[in-house]
Every structure is written in structure tokens, then in C-alpha cells.
């Protein structure tokens, strides 16, 4: 029987994001810069990672408390061996209405069919630019976009749709390529979502003047391909929606810096090592791995989750504008996904 759990601001828990690995084959400067996460960097040893069975058990408990949407993230989730086995476990949980995965797409072409067969609903692919040199710079590994595009094509073929393509926009880095990205996917049924560059984590060198705001992004696209704003699909949807006036599709803009949406945030995140974070910009996680492995019952674990969510006060993005000093140290994005 589902329970409706709400935080101190009346926000229910509806979305669960699960990081299945802290490793990644990219070194994007805004997430895992190569100078920090080099060959000598020590990622979590396998025993510290939640097993698939542990992830499935926790997910079922979150579903009992109101979660209906589950997203697998990383790091790069497709690096985790046999990920389709986890997808199969999760797809069998009654109450999950949307089971999705966010990936950089580099390994996707070879995995799409197995993921679909295991029960994955759809896919989100991170792709910051189609320009070869810009993309190489932004992924930090000198990879071109060819394999990512092949993964998107394969995902469409096997039915992992609708496909969303996420592009983080940084002024002076890739903002001159956003119209090309929108144009490329226009008419395909895929939805490109442009994301304002955020101060996630502590090491990406974020500065406000690097942010291309949502209005500017929309204006640049509208100048080349006329668009108009449309209503959200559901209350609390993070992306501002726009459709092409000629009916050839839609785009989204995630404006968490200039138009924060904390008031409607229903997301919880589980890190690779089993810590629950109630905000993308959180600094302190709540350890569920220890009680999970120490024999806690489902009811005891649910009571802990309810207590964590019930105390939640997070609204960092809305508070950011009034901060005179940088906020407290935050969890890195690769540990809890986007």
C-alpha cells in the first residue's frame, strides 16, 4: 500500500535517481575534469557499491512511499557490467510508471536492444554539441559525436522513445552550436533539452557569467526556427517546453539557475555507495547501505526514508541568488547523477 510522504515544504516524493557507478569513460570539465580524475584517482571499490539486489530492494521501498519514476544514472551507467539485469529487476516492481536511463551514449548502440528487452522505458542522452572539436573539448577524451549519434539511432530503432537529448550550455564554449543541435534533431521526434550551466559539485569552476540564460537560448533558436512556449506535460516538469511553429517538434530548456523550480522538486537521489541525497546540490547524504547490510527490515528502512524526506528543507537553487559567499561543499555530480 502506497504512502504519501511529504517534506517540510509539502513536496511529495515521486522521482528516484539511482547512480549505479561513479566511473565514467568521459572527463567532461563541468563534471569530472581529467586533471582531478586522472589515472591515479581511486574510485569506489566494488564491495562499497550497492548490488543490483540491494538497489532493487531500496527502489521497492521508495515506490511504496510514492515514487513512480525511476532513472538510472552514473557516472556513466553503461559501464556497470550486466546493467540489463538491474533493469529487469526494476521493471518487475509494480508502481513504477517510467523507468529510464541517462547516458553519454558512447556505448549505447551495443546496449540498446538488451536494455529494451529488459524493460527500460526510454533513454536520455547527454550530447553537448555536434561540432567535432567542441564535443571533443567538452568530453575531455577526444571522442567525436559519431558513436553517440549511432546510439541514439539504435535506441530509436528498438523503441526506447521518446528520446531526450540533454545539452549543457556554456557561454564561450558551445553556445554557438545550439541552433545546429536543435536543427539536427528537428523533425525526428527526439526532444533536445538545453540546460543552463549549473554550479553542481565543487570543482567545475562555475561562474555566473558562463551561464547562457533560458531566454537567450530560446531567442537564438527562435531567430532561426520560430518557436512558441507550450504548457508543461505535468506539474513540476523541470523543462520549459517550446514547440516549433511549423509543427516539426519541440525543445526544452532547463533553467535551474535563472528560473529555479525548487518549489516543485520531488526528486530523491541514491549515490553509488548507498547514500540518499534530497537535493542535487546536497552536501550531506544519509547512509542506507549500513542498515541495509546490517539486517534492517523493510519497515525499518521505510521509517528511515520517511524521516529523511520528512525533514527535507532543500531549495538551493532559489537561495543561490541571495548568497554572498559560496554555499557549503556539495556532492559531486558523478556520484549522484544529474
197 in a domain, yes or no? yes
Residue 96: pLDDT band by 50, 70, 90 thresholds? very high
Residues, the chain, total? 338
pLDDT tens-digit profile of 105-136?
A: 999 999 999 999 999 999 999 999 999 999 99
Give CA–CA dist 146/149, Å, rounded. Answer: 5
Burial 20-54 (b: 16+ CB within 10 A, else e): bbbbbebbbbbbbeeeebeeeeeeeeeeebbebeb
Cell 545546429 found at: 180
pLDDT > 90: what percent of the chain? Answer: 72
CATH number at residue 119: 3.20.20.70
Backbone angles phi, psi at 249, to 5 degrees: 135, -165
Residue 324: band (very low, low, confident or very high) from pLDDT cuts 50, 70, 90? very low
Domain assignment present for 35: yes
pLDDT at residue 256 in the model: 80
Q: Per-residue pLDDT averaged across 34-61, rounded?
A: 91
pLDDT over 80 (residue 311)? yes
To the nearest whole number, what is the mean pLDDT of the chain? 90
Overall number of domains in the chain = 1
Residue 312 lies in a domain: yes
Set of cell numbers at residue 201: 559539485
Min mean pLDDT across 27-36, 40-49, 195-204, 305-314 is at: 195-204
In what helix (H) or strand (E) does residue 166 lie, and over which residues does it extend?
strand 164-169
Q: Give the contacts of 208 (CB within 8 A, at least 6 positions apart).
A: 257
For the full predicted model, state whether its pTM sits above 0.75: yes
Identify the residue with better confidence: 36 or 141: 141
How many CA atoms lie less than 13 Å away from 156 in the CB half-sphere?
15
Query: Does 8 reside within a domain?
Result: no
pLDDT tens across 145-193, in order? Answer: 999 999 999 999 999 999 999 999 999 999 999 999 999 999 999 999 9
The pLDDT > 70 percentage for the chain reads: 90
* Residue 87, pLDDT above cutoff 50: yes
At residue 34, the pLDDT reads 80
Residue 10 counted as domain residue? no
**Is residue 4, in this structure, part of any structural domain at all?**
no
Q: Is residue 44 over pLDDT 60?
A: yes
d(CA 50, CA 52): 7
- Whether the predicted pLDDT of 306 surpasses 90: yes
Beta strands at 122-126 and 98-103: parallel, antiparallel or unpaired: parallel
Domain that holds residue 249: 15-336
Quick one: DSSP state of residue 155?
A: H
pLDDT at residue 199 is higher than 90: no
Q: How far apart are CA 100 and CA 164, in angstroms?
A: 11
Q: Which three cell numbers stand for residue 157?
A: 530503432
Over residues 320-335, mean pLDDT:
58
Distance CA 204, CA 85 (A): 33
Q: Which residue in 44, 64, 86, 188 sits closest to 127, CA to CA?
A: 188
Is the residue at 2 inside a domain?
no
pLDDT tens, residue by residue, 251-301: 999 988 877 667 788 999 999 999 999 887 777 789 999 999 999 999 999
Q: How do beta strands 227-230 and 267-270 pair?
A: unpaired
Pairing of strands 191-196, 250-254: parallel
Cβ atoms of 238 and 261 within 8 Å: the answer is yes
| Cα–Cα distance, 155 to 127 (Å, whole number) | 15
| Model confidence band, residue 322 (pLDDT cutoffs 50, 70, 90) | low
Q: Which residue has the higher pLDDT, 326 or 293?
A: 293
Which residues on adjacent β-strands are paired with residue 211?
Answer: 170
Helix H or strand E segment including 277: strand 275-277
Residue 83 gets which letter from DSSP?
H
User: Within a domain: residue 309?
Assistant: yes
**Would the CA dihedral through 126, 128, 133, 136 be positive or negative?**
negative
Instruction: Report the pLDDT value the prediction gives residue 327, as an integer from 0 to 100.
Output: 57
Backbone torsions φ then ψ of 169, nearest 5 degrees: -105, 120
Q: Cell match 554572498: residue?
A: 324
Amino acid at each position: 500500500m502506497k504512502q504519501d510522504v511529504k517534506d517540510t515544504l509539502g513536496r511529495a516524493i515521486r522521482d528516484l535517481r539511482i547512480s549505479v557507478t561513479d566511473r565514467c569513460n568521459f572527463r567532461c570539465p563541468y563534471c569530472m575534469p581529467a586533471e582531478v580524475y586522472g589515472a591515479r584517482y581511486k574510485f569506489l571499490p566494488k564491495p562499497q557499491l550497492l548490488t543490483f539486489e540491494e538497489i532493487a530492494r531500496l527502489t521497492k521501498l521508495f515506490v511504496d512511499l510514492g515514487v513512480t519514476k525511476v532513472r538510472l544514472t552514473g557516472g556513466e551507467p553503461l559501464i556497470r557490467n550486466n546493467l540489463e539485469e538491474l533493469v529487469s529487476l526494476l521493471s518487475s516492481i509494480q508502481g513504477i510508471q517510467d523507468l529510464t536511463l541517462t547516458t553519454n551514449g558512447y556505448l549505447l548502440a551495443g546496449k540498446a536492444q538488451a536494455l529494451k528487452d529488459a524493460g527500460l522505458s526510454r533513454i536520455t542522452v547527454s550530447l553537448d554539441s555536434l561540432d567535432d572539436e567542441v564535443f571533443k573539448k567538452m568530453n575531455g577524451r577526444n571522442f567525436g559525436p559519431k558513436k553517440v549519434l549511432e546510439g541514439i539511432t539504435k535506441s530509436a530503432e528498438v523503441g526506447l522513445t521518446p528520446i531526450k537529448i540533454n545539452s549543457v550550455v556554456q557561454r564561450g564554449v558551445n553556445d554557438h552550436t545550439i541552433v545546429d543541435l536543435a536543427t539536427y534533431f528537428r523533425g525526428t521526434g527526439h526532444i533536445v533539452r538545453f540546460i543552463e550551466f549549473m554550479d553542481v559539485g565543487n570543482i567545475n569552476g562555475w561562474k555566473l557569467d558562463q551561464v547562457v540564460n533560458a531566454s537567450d537560448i530560446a531567442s537564438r533558436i527562435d531567430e532561426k526556427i520560430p518557436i512558441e512556449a507550450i504548457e508543461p506535460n505535468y506539474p513540476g516538469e523541470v523543462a520549459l517546453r517550446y514547440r516549433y511553429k511549423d509543427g516539426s517538434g519541440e525543445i526544452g530548456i532547463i533553467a535551474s539557475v535563472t528560473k529555479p523550480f525548487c518549489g516543485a522538486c520531488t526528486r530523491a537521489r541514491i549515490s553509488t555507495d548507498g547514500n540518499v541525497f534530497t537535493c542535487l546540490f546536497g552536501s550531506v547524504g544519509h547512509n542506507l547501505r549500513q542498515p541495509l547490510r546490517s539486517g534492517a527490515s523493510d519497515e525499518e528502512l521505510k521509517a528511515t526514508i520517511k524521516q529523511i524526506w520528512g525533514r527535507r528543507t532543500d531549495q538551493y537553487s532559489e537561495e543561490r541568488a541571495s548568497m554572498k559567499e559560496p554555499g557549503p561543499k556539495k556532492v559531486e555530480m558523478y556520484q549522484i547523477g544529474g
